[in-house]
Amino acid sequence: MGNVAVIGAQWGDEGKGKVVDWLASRAEIVVRFQGGHNAGHTLVVGNETYKLSLLPSGVVRGKLGIIGNGVVVDPEALLAEIARVEAQGLTVRPDNLRVAENAALILPLHAALDRAREAARGERKIGTTGRGIGPAYEDKVARRAIRVCDLAEPETLAEKLDELLLHHNTLLRGLGAEPFSKAALLAQLLALAPRILPYAEPVWQRLDEARRAGRRILFEGAQAVMLDVDHGTYPFVTSSNTVAASAAAGAGLGPGAIGFVLGIAKAYSTRVGAGPFPTELHDATGALLGDRGHEFGTVTGRRRRCGWFDAALVRQAVKVGGIQGLALTKLDVLDGLPELRIGVGYRIDGMLWRHLPAAPRAQAAAEPVYETMEGWSQSTRGARSWAELPAQAVKYVRRIEELTESPVTLLSTSPERDDTILVRDPFEG
């Protein structure tokens, strides 16, 4: 049996939580490999709804969860999330959650800098969550990050804080924000150490042993390909690589261990925050999609922008993200619409493009080129086989396959875990 990596194929919020939960029930280990607590997955299990940000989705199913070295970890947020899900009846302990000892930490100064920068940008703000993810990744690349393993060495913490504060307090003062005290930060970290360190280990060793033993591993991505720091709509992107290739580096394994790459895409498009969105709808149809789809960010709570399915963008995500099959979610949201549109390309300065270019002004100027299809009046909600779908819904899915050059391997027709049509088992490769 192979392993599976799950990534978003649009701008995030595609319904990865349900799909990952469905796959996690069949995996033995679930690994988060990038991002921070700026990502959110909502899992509906029976009458209980779990909102996860840092914890791998497998903890809901009693599976071993691993937070890889590619994740930036806010220790306070992690402990708060553990407490929250335990209040809902789950058990999260060091025997079912492991954290990479070499993962970088997010500190309060990172969030303060994040918010101060966004405020200084004014109308040009990127739309970050203000949780410090970007500044934490900056420190990691600049080789001044405090990592999980540093919590075991008080002298190392004290030395690293000197360098951190020299950098961050200078920036904070320049932005008109309050600087941080070394004594207060050191005391906070030393108090957190005995609560975080029991979860820490060289997770690459555990994952290597699991791979050799043939155990099923599910790699859980956050955000999506079009928010990738290299391949997304820069600068309106996240601070990490969201493509499947980063699953190996972010977990401590070789690329051959990743297995089948499943991309998650909604049957329409959404985006939270600023940035280009060619197929966005500003009319009643866009509002309808938002209302029906309950389009509010799990982490931000902000209303998502809604639009038609952009096949050109998803095809681009398939190519650069290494996607081998799509899981199409929220098909039921389109029920009853008399006409549907699919974006098949863009017109920029009179020229036709089949992909979204990298240049910001070109992205902002992109006008969608649409293909129109007939909708369906029957309900698809809760369908669990192709035979239960209206003929036009099947045609819509097939056309998406053709335009994105990727097969639909899984189809979701409601938030419920079992309302899923399985075309091809990702774990079978």
Cα distance between residue 30 and residue 19, in whole Å: 13
31, 217 Cβ separation under 8 angstroms: yes
Cα distance between residue 126 and residue 136, in whole Å: 17
Beta-carbon contacts of residue 119 (< 8 Å; ≥ 6 apart): 125, 175
What is the model's pLDDT at position 301?
A: 59
User: For residue 202, what are the CA distances in angstroms to 18, 214, 253, 257?
Assistant: 29, 19, 12, 17
Select 266-428's CATH number: 3.90.170.10, 3.40.50.300, 3.20.20.370, 3.40.50.11540.
Answer: 3.90.170.10
Give the other-Cβ count within 10 Å of 138's Cβ: 16
Report the amino acid identity of residue 265.
A
24, 58 Cβ separation under 8 angstroms: yes
What is the model's pLDDT at position 298?
A: 57
Select 4-99+200-260's CATH number: 3.40.440.10, 3.30.43.10, 3.60.20.10, 3.90.1150.150.
Answer: 3.40.440.10
13 is catalytic: yes
pLDDT tens for the chain, 429 residues long, are 589 999 999 998 898 878 888 888 889 999 999 999 876 677 777 777 888 889 998 888 889 999 999 999 999 999 999 999 999 999 999 999 999 999 999 999 999 888 888 888 887 777 777 788 999 999 999 999 999 999 999 999 999 999 999 999 999 899 888 999 999 999 999 999 999 999 999 999 999 999 999 999 999 998 899 999 999 999 999 999 999 999 999 999 999 999 999 999 999 999 988 899 999 999 999 999 999 988 876 555 568 899 999 999 999 999 999 999 999 999 999 999 999 999 999 999 999 999 999 999 999 999 999 999 999 999 999 999 999 999 999 999 999 999 999 999 999 998 887 888 988 889 886
User: For residue 333, what are the CA distances in angstroms to 74, 146, 274, 302?
Assistant: 35, 44, 24, 19
Answering whether pTM is above 0.85, one says yes
294 is catalytic: no
Catalytic option among 13, 74, 139, 332: 13
Catalytic option among 37, 41, 168, 231: 41
Fold of 104-196: Adenylosuccinate Synthetase, subunit A; domain 2 (1.10.300)
Question: Which pairs with CB-CB distance under 8 Å and at least 24 residues apart come from 191-196?
Answer: 192/75, 192/76, 192/79, 192/151, 193/151, 193/152, 195/75, 195/79, 196/75, 196/78, 196/79, 196/99, 196/148, 196/151
Beta-carbon contacts of residue 221 (< 8 Å; ≥ 6 apart): 5, 6, 7, 8, 16, 33, 34, 35, 242, 244, 247
**Radius of gyration of the chain, Cα coordinates, nearest whole angstrom:** 22
Cα distance between residue 42 and residue 264, in whole Å: 14
Q: Among residues 107, 189, 109, 105, which one has the least CA distance to residue 148?
A: 105
What is the model's pLDDT at position 316?
A: 97
Q: What is the 3-state secondary structure (H, E, C) of the chain?
A: CCCEEEEECCCCCCCHHHHHHHHHCCCCEEEECCECCCCCEEEEECCEEEEECCCCHHHHHCCEEEECCCEEECHHHHHHHHHHHHHCCCCCCCCCEEEECCCEECCHHHHHHHHHHHHHHHHHCCCCCCCCHHHHHHHHHCCCCCEHHHHHCHHHHHHHHHHHHHHHHHHHHHCCCCCCCHHHHHHHHHHHHHHHHHHEECHHHHHHHHHHCCCCEEEECCCCHHHCCCCCCCCCCCCCCCCCHHHHHHHCCCHHHCCEEEEEEECCEEECCCCCCCCECCCHHHHHHHHHCCCECCCCCCECEEECEEHHHHHHHHHHHCCCEEEEECHHHHCCCCEEEEEEEEEECCEEECCCCCCHHHHHHCEEEEEEEECCCCCCCCCCCHHHCCHHHHHHHHHHHHHHCCCEEEEECCCCCCCEEECCCHHHC
What is the model's pLDDT at position 16?
A: 83
Q: Where are the domains of the chain?
A: 4-99+200-260, 104-196, 266-428
What is the model's pLDDT at position 47?
A: 78
